[in-house]
Amino acid sequence: MSTTLQWYKSSYSTEQGGACLEIAEAPAAVHVRDSKAPETPHLTVTRTAWTAFLTYRHDT
Protein backbone atom coordinates (compact mmCIF):
# COMPACT_ATOMS: atom_id res chain seq x y z
CA MET A 1 0.00 0.00 0.00
CA SER A 2 1.35 3.44 -0.95
CA THR A 3 1.73 6.17 1.66
CA THR A 4 2.12 8.96 -0.90
CA LEU A 5 -0.49 11.65 -0.35
CA GLN A 6 -2.40 13.22 -3.24
CA TRP A 7 -2.55 16.96 -2.52
CA TYR A 8 -5.32 19.25 -3.81
CA LYS A 9 -5.24 23.05 -3.76
CA SER A 10 -8.21 24.95 -2.39
CA SER A 11 -10.59 26.33 -5.00
CA TYR A 12 -10.30 29.66 -3.15
CA SER A 13 -6.57 29.87 -3.91
CA THR A 14 -5.55 32.05 -6.82
CA GLU A 15 -2.55 32.18 -9.13
CA GLN A 16 -1.47 35.46 -7.49
CA GLY A 17 -0.34 33.63 -4.35
CA GLY A 18 -1.48 34.80 -0.97
CA ALA A 19 -3.27 32.36 1.31
CA CYS A 20 -2.96 29.02 -0.48
CA LEU A 21 -4.13 25.87 1.21
CA GLU A 22 -3.80 22.26 0.09
CA ILE A 23 -5.39 19.14 1.55
CA ALA A 24 -4.79 15.43 1.16
CA GLU A 25 -7.42 12.95 2.28
CA ALA A 26 -6.56 9.63 3.91
CA PRO A 27 -8.90 6.95 5.26
CA ALA A 28 -8.74 8.16 8.87
CA ALA A 29 -7.44 11.73 8.52
CA VAL A 30 -7.17 14.89 6.47
CA HIS A 31 -3.77 16.51 5.99
CA VAL A 32 -3.50 20.28 5.54
CA ARG A 33 -0.46 22.25 4.33
CA ASP A 34 0.66 25.62 2.99
CA SER A 35 1.06 25.22 -0.77
CA LYS A 36 3.79 27.86 -0.81
CA ALA A 37 5.96 25.72 1.49
CA PRO A 38 5.08 22.06 0.78
CA GLU A 39 8.33 20.78 2.30
CA THR A 40 7.42 22.10 5.76
CA PRO A 41 5.43 19.98 8.25
CA HIS A 42 1.69 19.80 7.75
CA LEU A 43 -1.31 19.59 10.07
CA THR A 44 -3.19 16.29 10.38
CA VAL A 45 -6.75 16.19 11.75
CA THR A 46 -9.41 13.53 12.04
CA ARG A 47 -12.16 13.42 9.44
CA THR A 48 -14.63 14.39 12.19
CA ALA A 49 -12.60 17.49 13.06
CA TRP A 50 -12.25 18.43 9.37
CA THR A 51 -16.01 18.13 8.83
CA ALA A 52 -16.67 20.27 11.90
CA PHE A 53 -14.24 22.88 10.58
CA LEU A 54 -15.91 22.97 7.16
CA THR A 55 -19.41 23.28 8.60
CA TYR A 56 -18.59 25.77 11.39
CA ARG A 57 -20.35 29.12 11.09
CA HIS A 58 -19.24 32.00 13.21
CA ASP A 59 -21.94 34.64 13.46
CA THR A 60 -20.60 37.98 14.64
Rounded Cα gap, residues 2 and 5, in angstroms: 8
1 in a structural domain: no
In the chain, how many domains are there?
1
2 in a structural domain: no
* End-to-end alpha carbon distance in the chain: 46
Residue 8 three-state SS: strand
25 in a structural domain: yes
Q: What pTM did the predictor assign?
A: 0.75
Confidence of residue 30 (pLDDT cuts 50, 70, 90): very high
3 in a structural domain: no
60 in a structural domain: no
Specify the pLDDT at position 10: 77
Burial string for 29-59 (b: 16+ CB within 10 Å, else e) reads: ebbbbebeeeeeebeeeeeeebeeeeeeeee
Specify the pLDDT at position 17: 63
Rounded Cα gap, residues 35 and 15, in angstroms: 11
Q: Among 5-9, 12-16, 36-40, which is the least confidently predicted range? A: 12-16
17 in a structural domain: yes
**Residue 45: domain span:** 8-55
- pLDDT exceeds cutoff 90 at 1: no
